[in-house]
Structure 1
Amino acid sequence: MKLRRYVKPLLGMLSVTFSLMLGWSCAYWLTSIFYEAIQYHPHELTNQLINSILGFFLFGCSIFFVTRIKLVKERQEKFLHPMIHAMKMMAEGNFNIDLSYYRNQFYGRDDHPYYKIIESINHMADKLGKMEEMRQEFISNVSHEIQSPLTSISGFAHALKKEDLSLQERKRYLEIIEMESIRLSKLSKNLLRLTSLESDDLTLKRKSYRLDQQLRRIILANEPQWAEKEIEMDIALESLTITADEELMDQVWINLIHNSIKFTPKAGTITVTADQTANGQLMVKINDTGIGMNKDSLMHIFERFYKADKSRTRDAGGSGLGLSIVKKIIDLHKGQIQVKSELEKGTEIVITLEQF
């Protein structure tokens, strides 16, 4: 195969050289006949120039006619038509394209233009196919998340039409409708937030502020939730200044602390620490004694709509978007987030951020 790779270009060069020699030979023969006919012989330099120009002209004509030969055209169309058809399929949304048969016709000649075009088309189809799968999965997840609360709202609204319901039953049904409506509203807000975070036009509104004060404010704002579950909050926050988008970072700490409270059982403990590392980075750790996660769940926790424990998350009203939003905001701030967890032993989340 390697020998063939070098033989074909060599034969091509020889054929071009032969065609040039043939063209110049014909030019010399034609001019000689012409000079004999008119009984005139120009200067040697002039004769060579005329022969060269005429030889190149004849060579160009021969190449023009060769490219119009049916065999050559068929060979070109053999590769062009499948590529054109593949691009039409992609334009129609079909990315299941296989041009491996035509690619193999070049026997590993990856420098050939057709080979490069086929490789580019295959790569494009693969990337677009993956994007389409992600889009379909996203639509499916959104539809599923919306359908569940809508079914509850519709069912309990229909039940309220019954005249024999007690006041207590009516109150309970209305509370469920209200809870599901709030859940829909949160889902809508989270989807809009994710969309804005992924926008190319997003500009971080950075400013300097006290990170420890921000954490303490959000922990206190959630006191009704952790106090109701009798959770002990162990807080150790050093005085730290950070330059970041305060509003977005608010969302990070709110989501993470809500998760810790949600999955920590009654009388559990949540520890929040913030300090500065030896290399000048800011490190925030959130530890809880909650239900934890297994290794498989840890691999997917930042994926949209992923829920490690679907039954418990649904009872708590989660949509599976909170950690996706957290990860996106941390990435925008060039930070890092790491999660360690074990089932029934709790979870540790470590966020590392640059100070400036």
Structure 2
Amino acid sequence: MSWIGFRIFLALVAIGLGALISLLLQDWLKMPVVANLIGVASASLGLLVLDGVRGHRLLSWLRGNQESSAPRDTGLWGELGYRVERALRLREQALARERLQLQQFLSAIEASPNGVLMLDTQDQIQWCNRVAADHFSLDPQRDLLQRVTNLVRSPTFVDYLHQGLYTEPLMLPNPRGPGSLSVIVRCYADGLRLVLSQDVTERERAEAMRRDFVANVSHEIRTPLTVLTGFIETMGSLPLTEAERKRVIVLMEQQTQRMLTLVSDLLTLAQLEGSPRPGGDRWITVDGLLARVSADAVALSAGRHRISCEAKSQLEIAGNESELLSAIGNLATNAVRYTPDGGAIDIGWRLQADGCLQLWVHDTGPGIAKEHLPRLAERFYRVDGSRSRETGGTGLGLSIVKHVMQRHGGSLQIESELGRGSDFALLLPAVRVRAIAIAETETSAAASR
């Protein structure tokens, strides 16, 4: 029954009760008019009291927190309570969805590697993520509703924010330490602004390394070309004796070989950086690898050093054979080049407790100062540039070794001290190391299947 039908039913009941009261009073009072008036008043009062009680219950529920259900009355007040409660519940659900979406959106921004700062029309901070707080030395909670220009005192940033020309990003020094921040502002809504910050320290460092790399390559190639050009002009313009001519040709061959070695190392680096990592299905014996490296070192030394090699590991390593041979070979070659005549060079291996394999080269050379050790694997970095060129080095050998180790999931370890020689080691992860006996067992099992 609808609330209108119920109201009509209540009205009919009230009329019936009023008529009954009127009839009873007429017999008692003997005054028909007064009896009728009392009957009508009684019926009306009953309806008013009933509506008042129901209305009061609904108003009491509305004045509360609306956590409980609305009064479940029949008729108009029951229908009204149900509709009001349903509207409130729908609004609460919509607000909950919006709060969830907002929370997810802010969580996504919080996870961003870039800083995000929201400003109102008065430059007050409405919200910021932790990255922006770190970039600008802010507190994400304490500094809310504070003017950002009162907290970030950089005059360059304040001028950039107030000028309103946001076509180009602003470069700022990182207040938390060495480095740079890239800051750009974007306007949205009515006068609101979004300040986006990004730590570009690594990018600038990479760009500087790229510039240095190009400059170093140009210098390294220009030097032998200049020498060759001078010799060619000398041979073309001056009469030379046979001995002088042979000496010039030998020097020209040395410079040509130096330039070819440099180009070869550059191509090797490019190939290492551009090719996929070696798989784990190609196994190389450690003993064979060390034996080849030792033989090359003995040939390069030509009897000037005492070279020993321990090659009885009975181990295999997974990877690219030519890359690993190049890596350990570079270490042995450097040891021969920089160790004075009569010095000792040891090549060996060590299996660590965690299963990782260490291939090492120890020499009794002059050693390297500690301040140079962190930069030794950088391209073209030399402790002594003139001495490196005299020994035929290009400055790319250790960089190649580092890239080979990274591609195999390993690392290059360097320990050295002036006057006490150097230790260079390649550390390969346990997943790339296995015993030959295990390998033979796996091969036999595969054959039997």
Q: TM-score, normalised by structure 1?
A: 0.67
Query: In the alignment, what sits opposite 1:251?
Result: 326
Say which of 217, 222, 227 aligns to 2:292. 217
Which sections of structure 2, spanning at least 5 residues, go unmatched? 1-79, 81-119, 124-159, 171-179, 187-191, 433-449
1:240 matched to 2:315: yes
1:270 matched to 2:345? The reply is yes
Residue 84 in 1 paired to residue 167 in 2?
Answer: yes
Aligned counterpart for 1:226 among listed residues 301, 306, 315 = 301
| SS of equivalent residue, structure 2 residue 287 | helix
The aligned residue for residue 202 of structure 1 is 276
Cα-to-partner distance string for 1:273-295 (whole Å, 9 max, x where unaligned): 11322222211121101121111
Distance (Å, rounded) in 1 between the aligned partners of 2:380 and 2:267: 14
Long gaps (5+) in structure 1: 1-43, 45-71, 88-95, 104-111
Counterpart CA distance in 1 for 2:161 and 2:342 is 73
Aligned position for 1:318: 393
Distance 1:257 1:311, change over 3 A: same
Q: In structure 1, what is the Cα distance between the partners aligned to 2:229 and 2:327?
A: 33
List per-residue Cα deviations over 1:42-72 (Å, max 9, x = no partner): xx9xxxxxxxxxxxxxxxxxxxxxxxxxxx9
Quick one: distance in 1 between partners of 2:374 and 2:202?
Answer: 22
Cα RMSD for the two superposed structures: 3.2
Q: Deviations over 1:130-181 (max 9, x none)?
A: 3322221111111111111111111111111245311111111111111111
* AA partner of residue 166 (structure 2): M
Match of 2:218 in 1: 143
C-alpha contact 1:194 1:325 (8 A) present in aligned 2:
yes
Q: Distance in 2 between matches of 1:131 and 1:352?
A: 26
1:349 aligned residue (424, 428, 437):
424
SS of 1:202's equivalent in the other structure is coil
Counterpart AA for 1:191: L
Q: Distance in 1 between matches of 2:250 and 2:371?
A: 36
Flag the structure with more relative contact order, 1 or 2, with Cα contacts below 8 A and sequence separation at least 6.
Answer: 1
Tell me the equivalent position of 2:194: 114
Distance 1:222 1:287, change over 3 A: closer
Cα pair distance change 1:73/1:285, threshold 3 Å: closer
Relative distance call for 1:246 and 1:168 in structure 2 (3 A) is same
Q: Helix, strand or coil for the counterpart of 1:160?
A: helix
Distance 1:98 1:318, change over 3 A: same
- AA aligned to 2:165 is P
Question: Contact 1:209 / 1:243 at 8 angstroms: preserved in 2?
Answer: yes
Residue correspondences, number: 266
Contact 1:79 1:114 in 2 (8 A): no
- Counterparts of 1:350 and 1:97 in 2: how far apart (Å)? 37
Distance 1:156 1:318 in 2: 22
Q: Give yes or no for contact 1:240–1:275 (8 Å, CA) kept in 2.
A: no
Provide TM-score, normalisation by structure 2.
0.54
Q: Matched residues in 2 for 1:334 and 1:128: separation?
A: 24
Match of 1:176 in 2: 251
Classify 1:156/1:278 alpha carbon distance in 2 versus 1 (closer, same or farther; 3 Å). Answer: same
Q: What is residue 93 of structure 1 aligned with on the other side?
A: none
Deviation at 1:307, TM superposition (A): 0.8
Q: CA deviation at 1:187?
A: 0.8
- Could you say which structure has the higher helix fraction? 1
Deviation at 1:86, TM superposition (A): 2.4
Per the alignment, do residues 287 and 159 of structure 1 end up closer, same or farther by CA in structure 2, a change over 3 Å counting? same
Cα distance in 1, alignment partners of residues 385 and 234 from structure 2: 27
Partner Cα separation in structure 2 for residue 196 and residue 81 of structure 1: 47
Over alpha carbons, which structure has the higher Rg? Answer: 2
Q: For residues 127 and 232 of structure 1, what CA distance do their matches in structure 2 show?
A: 44
Deviations 1:93-143 (A, max 9, x none): xxx98759x89xxxxxxxx9613x2x14xx35x454333222211111111
| Aligned-pair identity (%) | 30
For residue 327 of structure 1, give the secondary structure of its aligned residue in structure 2: helix
Aligned to 2:69: none
Equivalent pair of 2:265/2:396 in contact (CA under 8 Å): yes
1:292 aligns with 2:367: yes
d(CA) in 2 for partners of 1:99 and 1:275? 50
Distance 1:279-1:245 versus aligned 2 partners, 3 A rule = same
* Kept in 2: contact 1:292–1:343 (CA 8 A): yes
Give me the whole-angstrom Cα distance separating, in 2, the residues matched to 1:97 and 1:337: 32
Kindly provide the CA deviation profile for residues 176-232 of structure 1, in whole angstroms up to 9, marking residues without a partner as x.
111111111111111111122122x42425511201111101221332221242x11
Distance 2:416 2:122 in 1: 63
Structure 2 CA distance for partners of 1:281 and 1:78, relative to 1, 3 Å: closer
> Cα gap change, 1:325/1:113 in structure 2, threshold over 3 Å: closer, same or farther?
farther
SS at match of 2:295: helix
